[in-house]
């Protein structure tokens, strides 16, 4: 048994290494690579995908799994080796259904799509992006067909980001959330407070972003922060975490971007070292991942206890704009529900409506009831229904997110589901660390980070997402606590 286990682990380690090299190449594509390198980089990534896919679907991997399954069954359910065989089996069977050539074609389409999207967004030119997006939709739907028969094609797409997630469950939760979120926006929406308008010099925003990331738990010996058109985080290894952000002198949204991406980075950084170079390392659940980006960004990052500590530092950085502004006004301003165009800059309450819009459009694209050419019109019409604003240009509408340019169809629902889960996890954190808010007022987030790392991050991918959620919060994802959290916060702010 030992030789078979050693061979499987070595094969999986090599596959993991290659995938991490791919993540580094993709990071460079979005951060540092000169534009003329795009076509070659797409080819390189496609070649790498072919190598990974062939190794991951090699018959020998299946033989080793067959040999090891009796051994895995004899172990405790949560033993690392038992989980490894279980997760490796699922990934092997799933990848075997996709031809290597199709997987490589998709990777090339992703790279080409992103490099087409960047200038199209800049120039507000959806027509220039449309061919690349149509190609991505076509390739992705051909990949979906590899999993026929299925009940809902969109479920196949979501499974890439959240094992076992079903459209009927997402729709049920969103149908509960949407009218409640709409009612809260209708009741509390206001205009952007002038105190949040710049100028806020970029160099000071960068220093504050790094300070808040450090307070959350970032070790700059293992992390870095760079610029990207659309912020993201990636982890080429457990000790190499890449965060990205963007700055605008006109606002302070970069602080919340840094919080969001730090949440992702901390999750990857916190995976148990014993899981490294295996499919168990990191987190493949987008709902769980987004629960952490949104917990650090919103539940912590928009809370009054946190700003009692951090606001004096922001005032010191921007004395001309904020030196005379009371904490209470600033805190109200960063939590003010508003009708706005950009999802990543949206307030905590209206954010969910942005996600619901994308979910609905994606389902129609996949079902074939909406053509790519008609996306801008469909976007603008539904956006006005949900958020009451007429979209003036595609740069503020259908072109604003990078996800479709990289074929991430099925990801968007996890943003809102993760946001919902963030409150349930926070409630458990408060029970485990009763004085967490008092410590936040002193800038001490170490115990919170430690609890999250031990209770969630260290688990990696050992268990299916539903099971991990149940282990952490004691039950399934539920929208009730999140809605209560929003009502309580907005009610308190309006009464202050």
All residues at 6 or more sequence positions from 486 whose CB lies less than 8 Å from its CB, including other chains: 181, 184, 348, 349
pLDDT of 289 reads 98
pLDDT of 215 reads 98
Read off the pLDDT of residues 366-418 as tens digits, 9 standing for 90 and up.
999 999 999 999 999 999 999 999 999 999 999 999 999 999 999 999 999 99
Dist. CA 241–CA 234, nearest whole Å: 6
pLDDT of 467 reads 97
Read off the pLDDT of residues 431-487 as tens digits, 9 standing for 90 and up.
999 999 999 999 999 999 999 999 999 999 999 999 999 999 999 999 999 999 999
C-alpha torsion angle, residues 333, 335, 340, 342 (rounded to 10): 110
Dist. CA 328–CA 142, nearest whole Å: 53
Maximal CA-CA distance, the chain: 70
β-pair partners for 242: 224, 234
pLDDT of 1 reads 76
Order of strands across the sheet that contains 233-237: 223-227, 240-245, 233-237
- Of 267, 283, 282, 274, the C-alpha closest to 81 is 274
How would DSSP label each residue in 49-117? HHHHHHHHT-HHHHHHHHHHHHHHHTS-TT-HHHHHHHHHHHHHHHHHTS-HHHHHHHHHHHHHHHHHH
Q: Which residue has the tokens 């340019």?
A: 405
3-state secondary structure 83-99: HHHHHHHHHHHHHHCCC
Helix or strand or coil: residue 277? coil
Long-range (24+ apart) CB contacts under 8 A made by 209-215 are 209/245, 209/254, 209/255, 209/257, 209/258, 210/258, 211/313, 212/255, 212/258, 212/259, 212/262, 212/301, 212/310, 213/243, 213/258, 213/259, 213/262, 215/310, 215/443, 215/445
Read off the pLDDT of residues 256-286 as tens digits, 9 standing for 90 and up.
999 999 999 999 999 999 999 999 999 999 9
Average pLDDT value for the chain: 97
pTM for the whole thing? Answer: 0.97
Percent of the chain having pLDDT more than 90?
A: 99
Res. 496: pLDDT tops 80: no
H/E stretch holding 240 reads: strand 240-245
pLDDT of 434 reads 98
pLDDT of 495 reads 87
First to last CA, the chain: 66
Contact 188, 494 (CB under 8 A): yes
- Of 249, 258, 254, 247, the C-alpha closest to 215 is 258
Q: Can you name the CATH fold of 167-495?
A: 1.10.1370
Q: Which segments of 123-252 does DSSP mark as H helices, in order?
A: 126-144, 153-159, 167-188, 202-216
**Exposed/middle/buried for 60, CB within 10 Å: 0-12, 13-18, 19+?**
exposed
Q: Are strands 240-245 and 223-227 parallel, antiparallel or unpaired?
A: parallel
Annotated catalytic residues are 261
pLDDT of 163 reads 97
β-pair partners for 224: 242
Res. 42: pLDDT tops 80: yes
> In the chain, what are the domain boundaries?
2-149, 167-495
Q: What is the CA radius of gyration of the chain?
A: 22
Dist. CA 187–CA 171, nearest whole Å: 24
pLDDT of 86 reads 98
Read off the pLDDT of residues 317-329 as tens digits, 9 standing for 90 and up.
999 999 999 999 9
DSSP 296: I
Dist. CA 136–CA 404, nearest whole Å: 8
pLDDT of 402 reads 96
């Amino acid at each position: 048994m030992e030789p078979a286990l050693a061979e499987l682990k070595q094969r999986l380690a090599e596959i993991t290494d290659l995938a991490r090299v791919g993540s580094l190449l993709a990071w460079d594509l979005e951060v540092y690579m000169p534009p003329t390198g795009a076509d070659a980089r797409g080819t390189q990534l496609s070649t790498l995908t072919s190598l990974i896919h062939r190794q991951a679907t090699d018959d020998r991997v299946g033989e080793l799994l067959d040999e090891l399954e009796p051994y895995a069954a004899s172990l405790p359910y949560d033993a690392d080796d038992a989980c490894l065989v279980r997760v490796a089996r699922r990934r092997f069977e799933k990848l075997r259904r996709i031809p290597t050539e199709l997987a490589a074609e998709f990777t090339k389409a992703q790279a080409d799509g992103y490099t087409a999207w960047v200038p199209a967004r800049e120039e507000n030119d959806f027509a220039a992006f449309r061919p690349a997006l149509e190609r991505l939709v076509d390739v992705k739907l051909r990949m979906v067909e590899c999993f026929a028969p299925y009940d809902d094609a969109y479920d196949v797409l979501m499974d890439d980001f959240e094992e076992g997630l079903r459209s009927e469950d997402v729709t049920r939760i969103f149908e509960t959330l949407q009218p409640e979120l709409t009612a809260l926006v209708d009741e509390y929406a206001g205009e952007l407070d002038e105190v949040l308008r710049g100028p806020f010099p970029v160099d000071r925003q960068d220093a504050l972003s790094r300070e808040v990331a450090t307070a959350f738990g970032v070790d700059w010996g293992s992390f870095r922060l760079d610029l990207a058109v659309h912020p993201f985080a990636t982890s080429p290894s457990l000790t190499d975490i890449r965060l990205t952000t963007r700055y605008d002198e006109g606002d302070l949204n970069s602080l919340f971007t840094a919080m969001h991406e730090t949440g992702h980075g901390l999750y990857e950084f916190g995976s148990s070292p014993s899981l490294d170079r295996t499919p168990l390392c990191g987190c493949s659940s987008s709902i769980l991942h987004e629960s952490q980006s949104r917990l650090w960004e919103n539940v912590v990052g928009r809370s009054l206890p946190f700003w009692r500590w951090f606001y004096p530092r922001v005032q010191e950085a921007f004395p001309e704009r904020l030196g005379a502004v009371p904490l209470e006004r600033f805190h109200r301003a960063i939590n003010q529900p508003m009708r706005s165009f950009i999802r990543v800059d949206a307030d905590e309450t209206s954010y969910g409506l942005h996600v619901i819009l994308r979910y609905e459009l994606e389902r129609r694209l996949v079902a074939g009831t909406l053509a790519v050419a008609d996306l801008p019109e469909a976007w603008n019409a539904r956006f006005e229904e949900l958020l009451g604003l007429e979209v003036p240009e595609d740069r503020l509408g259908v072109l604003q997110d990078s996800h479709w340019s990289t074929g991430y169809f099925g990801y968007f629902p996890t943003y809102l589901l993760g946001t919902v889960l963030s409150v349930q996890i926070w409630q458990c954190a408060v029970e485990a660390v009763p004085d967490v808010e008092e410590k936040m007022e002193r800038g001490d987030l170490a115990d919170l980070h430690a609890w999250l790392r031990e209770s969630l991050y260290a688990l990696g991918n050992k268990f299916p997402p539903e099971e991990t959620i149940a282990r952490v919060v004691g039950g399934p994802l539920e929208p009730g606590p999140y809605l209560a959290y929003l009502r309580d916060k907005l009610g308190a702010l309006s009464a202050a």
